[in-house]
Amino acid sequence: MLCGTALAAMLALSSFFMANHRPNTAWDQQAYIWQRVWTKEHADALLQSRNLFSALRVLALQHHSQTGWANLSIDYDELKKDGRPLWLVVRLDEQLNPADRPAIYQHIFALTQSWQARGLNLLGVEIDHDAASARLPEYLQFLQGLKQGLPPALQLSITALPTWSSSPIFPKILQLTDQSVLQVHAVLSPEQGLFDAKLALGWIKRYSQLSDRPFRAALPAYGMGLTRVGSKDWQVESESPLRMANNKQELTVAPQQLAQFIEQLQTQRLPSLQGLIWFRLPLASDQRAWSLSTLSAVILQQPLTPNWQVKIHSLPAKLNETKQLHDIVLHNAGPADAPLPRQISIVASDCLAADAIGNYQLASDRYQQHFKLIKPDQLRSGQSRPIGWLRCTSLQEDKTLVSP
């Protein structure tokens, strides 16, 4: 039996442990709007996401040192009607030429004034620039000039890369900003994939030790294509397809993978981590982005268990033919987008011909036809995809086996 002093000491130790190791389940959730041309789908996505994201980060300016400013078409009326707090995001490609600074500042200051004049709920400016670590001193000078010119009411944020954490200059940059965003997706070479959960967790933990300034982690809710002609470097295909065929590879991040990552992240003590920002706001026609229902399920930690259905559409046999043509269609009846299953096996015999299409390759034996995945991809919840066809005498639909 414990004495009063010992019991009090144990309770105090337990309280300390709970206070310092309590999982964080109340992170703020935000989203990037990264499309360069706005459509009616943006209005629908804004309306449907109102209860999901507390603020929006909108790509508003993009500058390239060689080609200048990109034309962006933003529906300001929809943003004003939406009313949520906004971050004006400025994407700066290539190196920052000191001679370009005055013009860049002028564009940013003019646009912030324009947004405020339109009645938009502007919180601040976020700079997205992939500077090499060796060029962070120049980037610091750029940010110092920008900070001096911004109205005091507007905050300054940056998109940070994990490699910057080892630079002695970077803590000075963090102290200059009001907050920052650590990007943990699409920071490796395309061949290494979009997201590595183990690396991302390590990056976030290290980043949280650099400064007491608040930060958020940017996570992926999308996929992308890699296209290459001959021996040339891979080109990235995101929202818009590139007009080239040849060698193409799809990179995806499964919602289930991110859900597991968030569960792991919640067990860490990261007091400076204020929330998560998702790239990017899903649109109905954006087939490489997760559906909004899937992103919502991940954020709310709802079940993501796949429910695959194989639908077989049989066509009547023609005159003097005994073998029917069967079209094979895969349907995602689950609550969330999911990676295509690795194999679908159908019991069928006496087949005259068969073939797979799209992401699958056919392997046949005496009694079964196996559709084997050769090109990984995701299928949205509620959508279907043809995977092949069979011309067989006998087919047992109830014995179809799907192997995730």
> What is the per-residue pLDDT across 362-377, written as a single tens digit (0 to 9) for each?
999 989 999 999 999 9
Q: Give pTM, 2 decimals.
A: 0.86
What pLDDT score does 232 carry?
Answer: 64
Q: What is the mean pLDDT of residues 137-151?
A: 98
What pLDDT score does 44 carry?
Answer: 98
**Per-residue pLDDT band at 8 (split at 50, 70, 90):** very low
Q: What is the mean pLDDT of residues 350-362?
A: 95
One-letter amino acid of 161? L
Please, what are the domains in the chain?
22-299 (3.20.20.80), 308-403 (2.60.40.710)
Q: DSSP state, 395?
A: E
* Residue-wise pLDDT tens digits, 270-319: 999 999 999 999 999 998 999 999 999 999 999 999 999 999 999 887 76
Cα–Cα distance measured from residue 162 to residue 174, given in angstroms and rounded to the nearest whole number:
13
Residues 6+ apart with CB under 8 A from 56: 30, 31, 32, 33, 46, 79, 82, 84, 85, 86, 87, 281
**Per-residue pLDDT band at 10 (split at 50, 70, 90):** very low
Mean pLDDT of the chain: 90
What is the C-alpha radius of gyration for the chain, rounded to an integer number of angstroms?
Answer: 26
126-153: burial string, b at 16+ Cβ within 10 Å, e else: bbbbebeeeebebbbebbeebeeebeee
What pLDDT score does 225 carry?
Answer: 84
What pLDDT score does 230 carry?
Answer: 62
Q: What is the mean pLDDT of residues 344-353?
A: 94
Q: Which of 209, 197, 220 is nearest to 165 (CA)?
A: 209
Which helix (H) or strand (E) segment is 149 a member of? helix 136-149
* Residue-wise pLDDT tens digits, 167-215: 999 999 999 999 999 999 999 988 889 999 999 999 999 999 999 999 9
CA distances from 258 to 37, 128, 304, 370 (A): 28, 23, 11, 30
What pLDDT score does 14 carry?
Answer: 37
Dihedral pair phi/psi, residue 22, rounded to 5°: -70, 125
